[in-house]
Every structure is written in structure tokens, then in C-alpha cells.
Structure 1
Amino acid sequence: MPRLNATGHTSAITGAAAGMGAEVARQLAQLGANLALIDRDATALATVAAEIQALAPQAVITTHVVDLADDDAVAATCTEIIAEHTALQSLITCAGSSMLGSLEQLTMAEMRWLMDVNLWGTVNITKGLLPALHASRRAHITHLASIYALAAPGGRIPYSMSKFAVRGFSEALRHELEGSPITVGAIYPAGVKTGIILRGRFAAALDPAIADRAATAQARMYDTEPAVAAGIIVNATLKRRARTMIGRKAYIVDVLVRALPVRHWSFMRGPLREATDTTTPIA
């Protein structure tokens, strides 16, 4: 499959104001790409855009402040991006959040909110930019899933649901676009040091101290630096890979789930016990 050439072509990146999205943008700009940076945080997005412009003065960089759960706003943003960039070659969806709590602790509204952010935001921007990607000689869509799109732990039901759905969306879209110029891939990070779990939400019914304990335990398990993860994402996008793991744990869990589709949890329960415990009172 022909590799993409970043130079002179545009990559649209969601969640570009921080974390992996910002790092992916930096690395693509240094390879000569133009950028359409998308996020809901206007101030942070402007800061990141200015930093990248200083590093890559040749890059054409536009910023687009939007809530990806707002259909009308996303449609307007896609029209804006298509008007400002004539060579859109890739879409990389890094936007997302987390939600702690058991099913009994969570409300339907809390779970729907996370699905809107992680799933429908991804679907929304992909659908909106698909016509521009079709116009390219070759193009690639990269969706960030998660290790929890391979195996679903307790205490993370809405997050796992959303990421399994992103995985399903990516795979179905890849099959739907066979024979077109567009290829689709999903990324499965095991844990990147972005702080997403510490900045994420938790059920209103959950004791904040218990939520902090679980989030901190989860964060301790993250061992991949954002720059390293971003390099893997950029490489997977340019090589148009369908399936990419980030981190040794992702490879292990992938093999474990394939070998033991039901019993894999017996091996994961112990290491994840504290990170998934949203019920035991603080002593």
C-alpha cells in the first residue's frame, strides 16, 4: 500500500490542544505537514498552534474551536476546514475523556455524555470530513481506541463501551471504504502519560476520595511518554496501518484476549484491582 507523504498535505487532528493530539500535531508539522487543529479549549489550542508555528514556520496551521458533540457546529467546522485546506490527507481523532464509576453509581446522563464525547464526536468529525478525504489521491483515517477496546474492566463501563464502539466503527468503516482512496486504522494504547484519567470525570454518586484513589492507581500503570506514542501514531497514519498497538501491555492483552476470550479477566483482575475499585471506602 502506498505510504502517505506528509509534506505539503493537511492533517486534521482532534483533541489537539493537549496530550497526544498536541504531540502528534508537532511531529507532523516537523515532517512538513499542514494542520487543521481541532479542540473545544480555545486558549490551549491557540497556545499549541503558536508553539508549533514557531517550530515549523512553513506549516499552514488553522485552529477550529468546536464541541464535537454539537452536530451543527461540527458541520460548520468541517466546511471551514475544507475551505481552508485543499489537500486534506489524514484525520487523526485524539479527542476523548474518561469516566469512573460502577453501573450502579453512574447515571444514564453521565454515560451518555461520555459516549457523545468518545464515540459520537469521532463519528461526527469523520463523517463531516469524509468528502474532502475522498477528493485526495490517497488518504487515511486514524481513530484512537484503547487497550480497553480489547478487554473491558469493571469500573470503566462507559469508557470501555465507547472505545469498543470506536473500534467497531473503525473496522466497519474500513470495510465500507474498500476500493476507495481512503484507508482506516485504529490505535490501541496501553497507557500514555497524558493525565487523561486524572482530568477525567467520575460519577456524581462516587466519593471523590475513592475516585482519586482509583484514578491515581490507573495513572501509575501508564508507562509510555506522549512523544513516543505520538511517533507511533504518526508512523501508523503515514503507513496507513489498520491496527496498531502502543505499549507492551497492549500486545499482551491482545494475545491474552484472543487465547482466553472469557478467562482473560482472571489474569487482569489482580493488577487492575485498585484502579477499578470504586466502592471500597477509604480507610
Structure 2
Amino acid sequence: MAALRKINLQDGVAVVTGAAGGIGAALALQLAEKGCHLALADVNGAGLAEVAAKAQAYGVKVSTLVLDMGQAESAQGLLDHVLAHHGRATVLINNAGVALGGQFEQVSEEDFDWLMSINFGAVVRLTRVFMPLLQQSQAAQIVNMSSIFGIIAPPGQTAYSAAKFAVRGFSEALCHELEVGNSSVRMTLLHPGGVRTGIATSARLPASVTAQEIKLHQKNWQKALRLSPEVAARRILRGIERREPRVLVGDDAVAASWIQRLLPVTYWRWVARGMSRSFRDAV
């Protein structure tokens, strides 16, 4: 088997979904700083334009496309955009995602399917349509966003955890396929912990959830989101450059991985105690 060629981000072309804010925006700007050209996609056109303007200051080519990753045709639309504006791609970062709170019995089938289509379905669709283009490069990387909730599964996150565990399973299996096939394309699976993004405050909640419950939900989760997107992006880019198959982002993600392995059945009672203390100490 030939030695694995490292990724050189300079003069590469990175496709980043969910690039209008949070980790996606931080990744876009740090990629631009390294001299990587960008194709950025998000449903938030205003946020996307702002990130693109900042990235262009580094002298790289930046294209943007406003689209909803929950729509099946968006994957082909993004590929067509990249071919038209860049002609190639060396990194695909499947970062776009949404959140949905509430107990399983509160969550409608429609909302469950909505989240799965964006958080998991879009990952599969984009990976499928971009694979032939990525394979044309001597070294290319697919980067899929799972979560700490793709390691542990808390109550109130049945849809979100289902999607993130699905991303994990899909990515690990594909990673092994690419390795066995000695492909020029490799996989990096991300498990970020609590990163300060807007996903918690923008989460969709069932109609049966009261205003007081919504306020408490947002307050508690904001306390758990302690890592800045910029710090998270630096760790992720290091993993991409090294072509690491798995990147745990944040001390909480590392801790979750350990406790899940040590206590695969009973881990949640210990995690819940730790979270309760963290929320209390953060007040």
C-alpha cells in the first residue's frame, strides 16, 4: 500500500456547508487564511455574504450558494456550482446541521424527518455526488460532522442523536472502504462537544413545549457551550491536514468518549450528574 499523501490546503478548494456562522464560518476563514479557495453554502444568505467578504480579504477565490440542504436536489445543485466556479474540489466539509429538542413522544414525525434529512441525508447525498470529483485529486478529504451526541445519547435528543450516530456509522464504514481501496480520498469524522454556536438557541421545539421550558432549555445548553468556534476550527483543520480519521473536539467530547467506553450501559447517570454540577457552577 502506498504511503498516504498529506493534504496541502494551500491552493486547494474546500466546499463548506453551513458556512454562514459557528464552526462553518470559523473553518471558512481559517481555510482562507491558509490560502484555500472556498465554495460556501448555507440557507442564510446574509450571513454567507458576510463570511465570504471576510474570506476574500485573504486573496482567495470565494463563491457562495444559498440553498436548503434538506432538499434532495441541493446536493447536485452544489456540485454544479462548484464545477462552474472552481472546476475541482479537494475538501468536502459536511457541516450543515439543525437541532430539534423535546421528548420523543412530543416530536412529530414530520420534524423528525426534517432533521434526519439535513443532519444525515444531506451528508450521504453530498458525499455521493462529490466523490467522483474528489477522486480526481491526488489527495482529497471528506469531513463529516457528527457530535458528542454521536458518542452519547441524552434524553430529549432522540432525533439529533439518531442522526449523529448515523453519520458516525456511515463515516466509519466509508472510511474503511476508502482505506481498503487505497483511495486518494480519505475521511475525517468530527465529534465536537459544547461549541458556542447558535444551534441551541435556534433549535426547533415541539408546540407542546411551554415558554418557560424553552427558556430553561436555552439557558442550560448555553452554559454547556464553552468552546469558541475559532478554537474548534483550529483543532478540526489540524485533523484534516493530518488526515485523522476521527477528531474529538473539546475536553467534554474526549471525556464522553472515555466514559461511554468504560460504562457503555450506565454512562448516562454519571454524565447527568456532571452536567447538573456544570450548570449549577456556571450560574
With the shorter chain as reference, the TM-score category is over 0.9
Aligned partners of 1:35 and 1:62 also within 8 Å: yes
Aligned partners of 2:82 and 2:88 also within 8 Å: no
SS at 1:197's partner residue?
Answer: coil
Aligned partners of 2:168 and 2:189 also within 8 Å: yes
Q: Specify the alignment match of 1:138 in structure 2.
A: 139
> Could you tell me which amino acid in structure 1 is paired with residue 23 of structure 2?
M
Q: How does 1:150-169 map to 2 (within 5 A)?
A: 150-169=151-170
User: TM-score, length-normalised on structure 2?
Assistant: 0.92
Aligned partners of 1:213 and 1:275 also within 8 Å: no
SS at 2:201's partner residue?
Answer: helix
Q: How does 1:1-283 map to 2 (within 5 A)?
A: 1-54=4-57, 56-57=58-59, 59-178=60-179, 179-272=182-275
Structure-2 separation of matches of 1:62 and 1:3: 25
**Greater mean alpha carbon deviation, residues 64-73 or residues 155-164:** 64-73
SS at 2:207's partner residue?
Answer: coil
Deviations 1:100-159 (A, max 9, x none): 100111111111111111111221222121111011101111111111100101011111
Structure-1 separation of matches of 2:9 and 2:165: 29
Structure-2 separation of matches of 1:16 and 1:102: 29
Aligned partners of 1:143 and 1:170 also within 8 Å: yes
Structure-2 separation of matches of 1:105 and 1:88: 41
> Could you tell me which amino acid in structure 2 is paired with residue 162 of structure 1?
A
Give, in angstroms, the shift of residue 274 of structure 1.
10
Structure-2 separation of matches of 1:158 and 1:272: 20
Structure-1 separation of matches of 2:96 and 2:170: 16
Structure-2 separation of matches of 1:208 and 1:274: 24
Give, in angstroms, the shift of residue 82 of structure 1.
2.2
Q: CA RMSD for the aligned pairs?
A: 1.7
**Greater mean alpha carbon deviation, residues 230-239 or residues 73-82:** 73-82
Structure 2 gaps, min length 5: none
Give, in angstroms, the shift of residue 275 of structure 1.
11
Structure-1 separation of matches of 2:164 and 2:26: 21
> Could you tell me which amino acid in structure 1 is paired with residue 43 of structure 2?
R
Aligned length: 274
SS at 1:203's partner residue?
Answer: coil
Structure-2 separation of matches of 1:186 and 1:274: 29
Give, in angstroms, the shift of residue 256 of structure 1.
0.8
Give, in angstroms, the shift of residue 84 of structure 1.
2.1
> Could you tell me which amino acid in structure 2 is paired with residue 64 of structure 1?
L
